[in-house]
Amino acid sequence: MGNRKKLAAGPLAGLALIVSIVVCAQEGQVAFNESHARDLEPLAIHPRTSLTIVDQIRHNHFVKKPLDDSASSEIFDKYVNALDPGHAYLLQPDLDALNKYRYRLDEALKHGDLKPAFAIYNTFQARLVNRLDALIAGLEDGIEKFSFDADETLQIDRETAPWSENEAANDALWERRVKASILSMKLNERDLGDIQDVLLKRYRNRLKQVRQARSEDAFQLYINAFASTYDPHTQYLSPRSSENFNMSMSLSLQGIGAVLRTEDDYTSVVRLVTAGPADKAGELRPSDRIVSVGQGERGKLIDVVGWRLDDVVELIRGPKGTIVRLELVDNSGDEESSRVIGIKRDTVKLEEQAAQKKVFTLESESGDVRIGVLQIPTFYVDFNAVRRGEKNFRSTTRDVSRLIEELKVEGVDGLVVDLRSNGGGSLQEAQSLTGLFIRTGPTVQVRKARRPKARVYRDEDGRTAWDGPLAVLVNRLSASASEIFAGAIQDYQRGLVIGTQTFGKGTVQTLVPLNRGQLKITEAKFYRVSGDSTQHQGIVPDISYPDVFGIDNIGESTLDDALTWDTIKPAVYRQTNNVQPYLARLRANHERRVAQDPDFAYLRSLSNWRREKRAETHISLNQTTRVIEKEADDVWRLGLENALLIAKGEDPVTSLKDLKARQMQQESEKVSDSDEDPDPLIMETGHILMDYINLSGVSSQTAQASN
């Protein structure tokens, strides 16, 4: 089976190329346009590779399930939806014709027979080419013919939409899709000639790429349709995908530091690499969609809608120190809301991902309280230094231990461990970091499918680095190793967990080298010492903050076929504290404090507004309606921003453009981190911790004295 490499990575998604056909309604036969792309056939090595992958997944995946007719039907649906996720190309008669393969894929996979997979792929590909040809021909005739006076709408998310019943219905759908693109760009102040050029280039580029499709594309898409029926993190990585994946894991990629995936024709942002260029710039957000990419500060923006994921990655990647510009839209794909940002490419250094400390002071009736903050961007360890036998290698636990000693010297009364947007990392570091805050006991349980009894990781040294008041701050992007640590602190009642519900990734992946590419396979699950899984549900905080990311939009629970939450037998452990008696008072004090706090009012309003926008299922194609909606959104957002500015003693702005200009000027004038405004979530976490100190009578001094 070769060497295996354990992973603690966030969610990744493979490339979903979209392809298509033309159907003769009378005969139910597929009729090919002369311009369709050449039919693809599997490479000689593909059957052998597929057999290896099927064997690995069936025998080594955490989930055991039969490869039967039921599985075949699920694979068929996954494959078809991966090819046409927006249900925009295929017709219902196409599905009827292809349905002969629905219950044949299980036997085909068992025997390395890829003919059904490639037959489906080639059929889809022909449909796409014909649709793109028609779109290009229509756009070449001009776009002045489109009217935006009718009361029409377009469904935004068509993942579960019915397939078009016939060609006429599909033509009507595509007329609305093209109108939506034109209207969005019109409202973004582009003239008709520019819009026509953009759309023609977009569809011509897609047509060119479809005709350049390779056998590996079809093979990877099909095999991943099979793999994804087990869970969303099990993936076949082709040789090229493997190279990109290995670069991202080693952090050696000179780019922007973002994990991307293909989603309904768009390249979407899954997460940002902590301390990477995009994370530092602060303008790129998870779920943003990349519309175009430009080189340098003035380079022409190249439209990348419909591009292959690896081609978009190649365009974004570049030499260290150079600028890449991205045109972005939100996850609705509405180009009316597009914005352009610039990011300087760089490599992610271990030093930049290292834990850091800060101290701030809060006033209390009983005296000032000093709060120490440990910012931990990731759970890291310098494996190269370990292999070289260096005694003083860098790691999360070593760095945090040193920083805690420094904070003790500075006389802090409480400690906040900031794990916001920490996507995980080393399992060993997560459990050893927990050991800095408990004397002895289990830290995490890991269970494999073939070993019903979980392996219990323990801290046995009998020592702690910090016994005083503790809070752990998390958000929706805190995942994997972060959830192990936060879950242990909560189970031991060692401290308070504060923030928003975490990501919910409680699975372990292994990399298996193949004769062609690699297989990333889920082989185990994490469990808390209480026996609860961190999978799907994540960590629910003791005290909650407004959700700005969107729990219904980001997280394990939003991924198809994510493994379920479950429980196992608890490990034997003794709680070190008991914060439960104080939670009601702490929550009441928190709610009273933030009720009039301008920063929390801002976050609550923004969270509610984004939730309402995500709930919208259709977009209007009426220009007057859209103008009114945009003006209303702008007025609302300007009012929200000005309310915060006025509350902070700053002058209001007259437009959102003026606000952006002021923010850019303030950023350019900032000379150090001390010039930054205090983080309102950190400050409120400090207040909660101060309340806990006052209510419980526990301080860093009493905790140390009791030991």
Q: Which residues are catalytic?
A: 480, 491, 505
Name the pairing type of β-strands 356-362 and 339-344.
Answer: unpaired
Say if residues 226 and 116 touch (Cβ distance below 8 Å): no
Spatial distance between the Cα atoms of 286 and 549, rounded to a whole number of angstroms: 8
Closest CA to 510 of 67, 65, 64, 60: 60
Query: The tokens 């996507």 sit on which residue?
Result: 423
The rounded distance, in Å, linking the Cα atoms of 507 and 89 is 35
Beta bridge partners of 30: 23
Do you know the residue count of the chain? Answer: 707
**In b/e form, how buried is each residue of 664-702, taking b as 16+ CB within 10 angstroms?**
eeeeeeeeeeeeeeebbbbebbbbbbbbbbbebebbbee
Across the strands, what pairs with 293? 302, 326
Residue 554 buriedness (CB in 10 A; 0-12 / 13-18 / 19+): buried
Query: How far apart are the C-alpha atoms of 308 and 267, rounded to whole Å?
Result: 9
Question: Is there a contact between 305 and 199 (Cβ–Cβ < 8 Å)?
Answer: no
Residue type, 539: I
- Joined together, the tokens standing for residue 199 give 């759309």
Dist. CA 259–CA 12, nearest whole Å? 7
Is the Cα torsion angle 102, 106, 112, 113 positive or negative in sign?
A: negative
Instruction: Match 């000689």 to its residue by tokens.
Output: 44
CA distance 188 to 436: 53
Q: How buried is residue 453: exposed, middle or buried, by Cβ count under 10 Å (0-12/13-18/19+)?
A: exposed
Q: What is the Cα–Cα distance from 691 to 707, expressed in whole angstroms?
A: 23
Indicate the SS3 state at residue 108: helix
Q: Are 483 and 502 in contact (CB under 8 A)?
A: yes
Q: For residues 568 and 566, give the distance between their C-alpha atoms in angstroms, rounded to a whole number.
A: 7
Q: Which residues pair with 154 in a beta bridge?
A: 619
d(CA 350, CA 413): 29
Query: What is residue 117's DSSP assignment?
Result: H
Sign for the CA dihedral angle at 362, 430, 441, 497 comes to positive
Query: HEC states along 150-207?
Result: CCCEEECCCCCCCCECCHHHHHHHHHHHHHHHHHHHHHCCCCHHHHHHHHHHHHHHHH
**C-alpha closest to that of 475 among 444, 493, 498:** 498
Cα–Cα distance measured from residue 351 to residue 283, given in angstroms and rounded to the nearest whole number: 22
**3-state per-residue secondary structure call for 569-612:** CCCCCCCCCCCHHHHHHHHHHHHHHHCCCHHHHHHHHHHHHHHH
